[in-house]
Each structure stands twice: as C-alpha cells, then as structure tokens.
C-alpha cells in the first residue's frame, strides 16, 4: 500500500505525550461517567461476535481509567442502523455509534466533529481518502472504523477444468471465460448478487468498471448516465441473457448466498472482499484474486467500503468520548480488529504495519486498492434513501423483460427528489 508518512504526522507523534484533547474542559471531568456505545456485529458466529472484541477492549481501557465505564451493545448489520435511529428519535442517543452512515445525524447537528473529540495525532493518522469521505460540508463527522475493497475472485480448479489459463482483464474476456465455464458444467460462471442485501455494492462496482459511478464530477447523482446504462445493458445481454449468472435470478441473489456458493465450488467468478478469503480457504477452495475487469482496457477504479464511528452530542461527554476513542484507534487495537474480521485498517500506521508483515501478505492486493478506491457517497444525506431504492429496483434492470435505461432513469428521478428534499430542510 502507498506510504503516507508525513512530517506533520511525525512531529505530532513525537509530541503525542503532551498533546491535549480538543474536548478538554468539558463538564463532568471529576465525576464518574458511563459511556454508551452501540456497535455493529462483524462476526459470522457466536464464537467471534464483535461483542467479545468490545468486551476485551473495554476491560483493558477501564483498568487504566477507573472513572470511566463503557457499556457496549452489539447488533447485527440488519438491525444496528435502525436501532440507533430509534434511540435518537426517542431522545436517548448513545454517546457513540459504530454504524453504516453519519451524514443525516451530522446535518441535524447531533454529532461532534471529529476534531472536537479526537487528539490531533489520532485524527491525522486516518487514511486520507477515508477522512475525506467522512466529511459533511468539509467538516469530518464520520470517523472511519473499518474498510474493505473489492477484487475479482476466481476458482482456479474450475478455470483449469474449463481450459482457462489466466484471469480476465476486460469484460469481453470475462464473458468468454464465463462461456467456457458454463460449457465445462459450472453451475454459476459469474455470480451477480443484485438482491436486497447488498445490491448497491455490486451495482457500484460494475458502474466503476464501466468508467462511471454514482456521482458526476460535480457531486450530483449520475445514475442514468450513458455509461451506466451501457453497463447494465451489457450485463443484461452478455451475462444474464446468455445464462452465465447461475440458476438464481440476480434480483433474488444476495451476497451471502453468492459467497457461500463460491465456497462450495459452484461459482467460477464473483466480486468479493477480504472476508471471502478465509471462508473459501476453510472449505479448501483454491482461488485467485485480481482487480475487477474494465469495459475495454483493463481494470478501472475499484469500490471501497467504510463503516463509521460517530460521537453524539446528546449526553455531553466530549472529553471522555475522545479519550476512549483515542484508545480505540491506537495501532495495536486497529490491527487487532482488522485481523479478527479480515478487514483493512483505517489508519496509516496500522496499514503500514500490515503491509510490512509477511503474515498479512494475502491482504496486500486489497491494501493496494484502497488509496485509489471510490466509496459510497455517504457524505450526502440523501444516500440512505438512494441506496435503499437501488436495493429494491436495480435487479429489474437485468431481468429478461427489464429495461436498463428505464430502471436507471427511475432511480435517477428518485435520487434527485431525495437530494432536493434534503437540501430544502
């Protein structure tokens, strides 16, 4: 991964012992405080639930900070955003929430800016692309907590059986490989999960591979651009229409099911993130990973994903929140979380440590993609609405009777309406 050690960070690190929190001087300094954190569960079983990670981390923190207690409630990704929304609506916002978006709360004035709670060295250590993505009106409110990028995974055994000698670099090569896999009896040559679980991710990755994305160069939604329409027309005609995406219609195929099928050896290719490596390795699948193919000239930009830590103003525990988050984001703890859940570190120091560790060599390709990856437009308060609409509608664009231009046009109109409504508030 690209190194970003700057003179400023080096100086600040050297002064770290004397750096003071931006929040010092808030009320309650001499009183015992209980902080409440709501967090998402990254585990795939009870054995590696994120509750265990947080319990261990909090125990270490509280041992050195007897005046501060931290209560952590962990919810599945299906529930955590809704749970926080309900708490905020009821006037019972947690002190911190580790969730999928931040812009709505920031726009409503409910969050502390990152530089109000974090020490300068900690905030400066964030990977710059993630810091920028966490900004609303050029102020950082979303503190990146976990990140991942996407690569094309392919089953080496199935490729060999189909006589394919190398991974595809262009769409034409991907389609040709998919045809060869189908001819060799592979059930799902390319898994295209456009079901409601995470359709917005597969959609964005293909749009980027086609040379466009969700936003225009001036930051407005661009869902129905000529390039995006052409991308989904190609998917409909060249993959889905030719029976190369398996027995389950893309509109009904979720990411989890696609990943599980890959680990069973039923899928030739799919877009995946680091978690799939461990899942496939456990099942003995021999796989390769390469950047996602581009429309005509090799790899284009890849998609990056980040989840966010937020600090709510409601309870006024600015200093204590900052002190705890400084601990959360130290290099050792960031690396421990990344290793536990096969995710990319969100700080430069932890990223550099991972890149230099031979034991983390398998994460190298994902780390290399992060600096130039593009993230969801989470800085737009309308993104939650737009994302939900994409999940519901995009699968129709590649159905046998689907019309990519019409579906993307409909999504564009709802995106424009959501953007206009949010701007008027």
* Secondary structure string (H, E, C) spanning 403-417: CHHHHHHHHHHHHHH
CB atoms < 10 A from the CB of 7, how many? 7
Contacts of 248 (CB under 8 A, 6+ apart): 257
Tell me the sheet residues that pair with 290: 152
- From CA 173, how far away is CA 60, in angstroms rounded? 52
- From CA 115, how far away is CA 128, in angstroms rounded? 15
Six-digit token string for 421: 């409504």
- From CA 140, how far away is CA 148, in angstroms rounded? 20
Q: Which of 40, 112, 41, 36 is nearest to 72 (CA)?
A: 36
Q: Which of 404, 12, 3 is nearest to 207 (CA)?
A: 404
What pLDDT is attached to residue 120?
97
pTM: 0.82
Residue matched to tokens 């955003």: 81
Grouped pLDDT means (10 residues each) for the chain, 425 residues = 35 35 39 93 85 96 95 91 94 96 94 97 95 94 95 97 96 97 98 93 95 93 97 98 97 94 97 91 95 84 91 96 97 95 94 93 90 89 91 96 97 94 64
CB atoms < 10 A from the CB of 396, how many? 18
Q: Report CA-CA distances (Å) from 275 to 45, 148, 255, 331.
A: 14, 9, 12, 21
Contacts of 363 (CB under 8 A, 6+ apart): 274, 342, 344, 354
Contacts of 212 (CB under 8 A, 6+ apart): 222, 225, 227, 228, 231
What pLDDT is attached to residue 392?
94
Six-digit token string for 330: 């130290």
- From CA 387, how far away is CA 22, in angstroms rounded? 34
DSSP H or E run through 8: helix 7-14
CB atoms < 10 A from the CB of 106, how many? 23
Q: What is the dihedral of CA 356, 360, 361, 364, to 10 degrees?
A: -80
What pLDDT is attached to residue 416?
95
**3-state helix, strand and coil shares in percent for the chain, rounded to the nearest 5:** 50, 15, 35
Contact in structure between 377 and 103 (CB atoms under 8 Å):
no
Q: Which of 61, 11, 91, 6 is nearest to 322 (CA)?
A: 61
- From CA 357, how far away is CA 160, in angstroms rounded? 31
Six-digit token string for 33: 């405080």
- From CA 241, how far away is CA 238, in angstroms rounded? 6
Q: Which of 44, 216, 11 is nearest to 121 (CA)?
A: 11
- From CA 136, how far away is CA 130, in angstroms rounded? 13
Pairing of strands 33-40, 96-99: parallel
Contacts 24+ apart (CB under 8 A), 259-266: 261/187, 261/188, 261/191, 262/153, 262/155, 262/191, 262/287, 265/155, 265/157, 265/158, 266/186, 266/187, 266/188
253 φ/ψ angles, rounded to the nearest 5 degrees: -95, 120
Residue matched to tokens 């999504």: 411
What pLDDT is attached to residue 298?
67
């Amino acid at each position: 991964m690209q190194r970003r050690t700057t003179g400023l960070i080096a100086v600040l690190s050297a002064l770290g012992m004397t750096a003071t929190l931006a929040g010092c001087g808030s009320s309650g300094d001499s009183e015992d405080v209980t902080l409440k954190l709501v967090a998402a569960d990254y585990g795939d079983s009870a054995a590696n639930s994120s509750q265990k990670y947080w319990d261990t981390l909090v125990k270490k923190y509280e041992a050195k900070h007897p005046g501060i207690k931290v209560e952590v409630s962990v919810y599945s990704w299906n529930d955590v955003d809704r749970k926080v929304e309900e708490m905020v609506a009821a006037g019972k916002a947690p002190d911190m929430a580790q969730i999928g978006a931040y812009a709505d709360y920031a726009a409503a004035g409910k969050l502390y800016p990152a530089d109000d709670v974090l020490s300068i060295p900690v905030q400066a250590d964030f990977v710059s692309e993630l810091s920028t993505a966490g900004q609303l009106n050029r102020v950082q409110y979303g503190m990146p907590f976990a990140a991942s990028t996407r690569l094309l995974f392919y089953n080496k055994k199935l490729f060999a059986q189909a006589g394919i000698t190398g991974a595809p670099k262009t769409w034409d090569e991907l389609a040709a490989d998919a045809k060869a896999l189908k001819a060799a009896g592979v059930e799902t040559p390319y898994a295209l999960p456009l079901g409601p679980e995470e359709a917005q991710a597969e959609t964005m990755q293909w749009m980027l591979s086609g040379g466009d994305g969700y936003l225009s160069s001036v930051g407005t939604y661009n869902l129905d651009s000529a390039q995006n329409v052409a991308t989904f027309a190609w998917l409909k005609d060249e993959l889905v229409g030719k029976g190369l995406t398996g027995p389950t219609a893309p509109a009904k195929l979720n990411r989890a099911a696609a990943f599980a099928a890959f680990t069973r050896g039923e899928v030739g290719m799919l877009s995946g993130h680091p978690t799939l490596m461990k899942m496939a390795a456990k099942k003995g699948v021999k796989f390769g990973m390469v950047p996602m193919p581009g429309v005509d000239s090799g790899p284009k930009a890849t998609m990056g994903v980040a989840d966010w830590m937020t600090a709510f103003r409601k309870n006024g525990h600015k200093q204590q929140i900052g002190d705890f988050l400084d601990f959360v984001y130290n290099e050792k703890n960031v690396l421990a979380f990344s290793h536990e859940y096969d995710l990319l570190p969100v700080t430069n120091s932890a990223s550099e440590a991972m890149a230099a560790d031979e034991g983390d060599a398998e994460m190298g390709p994902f780390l290399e993609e992060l600096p130039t990856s593009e993230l969801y437009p989470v800085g737009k308060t309308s993104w939650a609405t737009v994302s939900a609409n994409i999940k519901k509608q995009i699968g129709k664009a590649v159905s046998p009777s689907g019309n990519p231009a019409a579906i993307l046009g409909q999504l564009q109109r709802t995106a424009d309406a959501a953007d206009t409504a949010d701007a008027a508030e």
